[in-house]
Chains A and B, each alone.
Chain A
Amino acid sequence: MSTPQIIPVSSDYIRILPEIVLSVFGMIIMLLDPLMDEERSQRTLGIIGLVGALAGLMATWFMGQDPGMAFWNMIRVDGFSVFFHFLILSIGAVVILTSYEYMAVQRIRAGEYYGLILFGMVGMCLMTSAVELVLIFIALEISSISTYILAGFRRRSATSSESSLKYFLLGSFATAFFLYGVAMMFGATGSTNIDVISAALRSNSIPVLAYVAMALMFVGLGFKIAAAPFHIWTPDVYEGAPAPIVGFMSTAPKAATFAVLLRLVFEANAPGRFWLVWVSAALSMTIGNLAALVQTNVKRLLAYSSIAHAGYMLVAFAAAPELGTSAVMFYAASYAAMNVGAFAVVSHLAGAGERHVTLEDYAGLGRRSPTLAAVLTIFLISLIGIPITGGFFAKFYVFSAALSANLVWLTLIGVINSAIGAYYYLKIIVVMYMRDAREEMSVPPVSWGVATALVISLAATIYLGVLPQSVLGFAQRSAKVLVQQPDAPITAGPAPIPAVHSTN
């Protein structure tokens, strides 16, 4: 009989090192903000934010050297979580780079902005390595609250405040569903730990309560990834929020939530998921693509497109565990690269007060600023899914995963949707190159921050399109580990605290 450990060991702290680093930098920013005067604060705090994100990346590498369990089996560091840590931190770093110029143009007092991004990343990273449902909920809330506030950062604009409030109210509503689902799952299986739940769900009789729990959790998580029928908030929120934040919101929390879904669905072997995912995927793709066809506001158009892309990613969920997981991981990475890049261009062109976000404002961009137009064209081509870009391989892996599982109809719906979806991306390309601007609006020169952000996104998009093997290989190895997890013995880490299982 050993005394239960109540103090975490040092290896536990290493396994949440990125989160610790990010929190520290975030707190530094929050502390420094009131101490510095307005003019210089933006520059300095922005640099600190970027340094924090980069430090987080290094911490992730460090953390990845020693995979295992932490904090009484609440946290698992494996290839899967390291992948998502890298992804989310890179997205954060690129968004911070994009924001420098944006904040200066919009004349927003920086301050908390960078701190909130870092805090948001804490939540998202934690979500991907947590294997304890309550911890997932906490991390989900951390990330959500940060993004609620960030969405309303353009304080002088009514649409921004509206989008923040809508996001907050609806988001809390949906998260409540999730929490209720967690409670149900505890009632059904007696634990909130994913490994224990998965063992319980693999037995022959699964209580109805587990199904209901799964449904409720799906509502909450589906909201965050903007899957139909829980997508209704996306267009309004994306339209109002600041453009770099939309780039952040559409990629990082989505990736983190997909990581949670992957753990729930494949690791915990959630029951009854097939038709749920099938219908949700088909609806998301169709509604997202159809509604985007007539949009004239670029941010709203990209919002609907992100609903459609959530649909494509969900298709992989209906497929086999290993193939599906690696396909979703690759898709999350390539979607992040192209979407963050696209929103970087949108942020740059938006102008003070975000005046220039409609298609009309992009007319003749091919002539006014050829490099910027070419870069945006490559991101749009990637979103369409044309070869040489990461978007093509991403769609390709998802559809081949689906076909390996004989999901012919879903694949057909998917490919037809991607063809139809090509139209609205093409519309932007057409407007840029084939129409002339009504008045000669000059495009301001690109600052170093936006330029670096664009170079990174562009390089990632093309790299994933030409040499996808390294990223895909990593994803596949991580997926294998994830899927086999319940059979593998719970490795390093102290014994679980008995208190968790005592009451019944």
Chain B
Amino acid sequence: MSEYEFAATASDVGKGEHVPPTMTQKSLNDDVLKLISVPGPVWWTIFLLDLAILLVAMIAERNQIVHGVGVAGHTRPVMWASYVANFVFWVGIAHCGTLVSAILFLFRSHFRRAVYRVAEAMTVFGVLTAGLFPILHLGRPWFPYWLFPYPSQRQIWPNFRSPLEWDVFAVTTYLTVSSIFFIVGIIPDAAAMRDRARNPFMRLIQTIFSFGWRGSNNQWKHFYSAYLYFAAFATPLVLSVHSVVSWDFAMAQVPGWHSTIFAPYFVAGAIFSGVAMVINLLIPIRWGFKLQHIVTVDHIEKLSKLVLLTSTIVGYSYLVEFFSAWYGPSPYERDLFWWRATGHFAWAFWIMFTCNVIIPLSLWFKSVRRNMTVLFVICLLVNVGMWFERFVIIVTSLARPFEPMSWGVNYRMSWTEGAILAGSFAWFFMYFLIFVRLLPAFSVAEIKETLPPPMRRQPS
């Protein structure tokens, strides 16, 4: 029986859940594709607000380029801070998409069908956001191309020993693959759209995204094999990309960075924040567009279980770090972790620990997992916590270097950094808002697989 019959069961009655009519192929098409229409005042308000925030961030960035990185709060020894934290945060967000769409696809876990399109969009836009920060945290942001290996008259090449150089490859690869995966997945739906579209502009867009899809058997066959291939291709990236990002820190010998657990720890954290972000996106969408019957409570609950799992992994990593600091030989490491939990930045550490380890424990309760409002808030907190995790790892480790001489110079976030952080969210949602209006946010084609085939009425 298809999972959509659950939605109609009594279990939802009285939970304020909208009980959908039994879904047909037509109603599904209508429901999903109605999203793609001329946007209303609500959408425009949100969109303009978003652009306003983005504008402020751009002013701040211009300011920084003209006057120098000094307008941000960096000091010696804290030479990296919020910008790099944002980078890692957004790369992390970008992870869940591939996980949901690719890995769950390979595992044939069908609950992904309703949610993977949103997750994939989030992935692509997340990488697009993350990719900004390595550039704008530079002292001379007009020279980022020097990090790319190209033959120049200077006859010099980048330093392939530097983890930052590895980042260049990791992130660009991930962007390429995830966007391909995203675009390929859209093809059938885009074709359906194209056939329905009246507005010529829309038709043009959809024509481009449908790559001349006709829906013939042959095309379906190729489509699925290609899709499977891309899924298999993307899966290892989920692990590799964030491992490489984690090595920016693990490869340095700074106490608090120089640790072998970082790769798995970061990957888990990435999925953790990513899934939380998916939930944060889905809940408003299904509520706003009345799609509770497509993205059901069960889907969300399954995702929230993923959140719970990864949260425990992250929590374990936190504890193990402290254990190995205490158990290990390095006095620097020991001193740092003690300071991290009790020193100047203890508040950040405890925000991180509460949001990422303690609060998610409530997800052990089914009632919590199925309560959309509470779940939304929890996931929000998880994302706050995950941003602070990056902040704690970067700033506290740097603020406590080997030589006591440099202690006590503490980093303070400047308004420029604040504006640019807000701007990164504005940037991300700008893409997302356009996406929901331009392309099908849910995979019509795949959901249809779960519907009963359309039967002609019995002849009398």
A interacts with B? no
Residues of A within 8 A of B (CB): none
Which residue numbers of B lie inside 8 Å of A, CB to CB? Answer: none
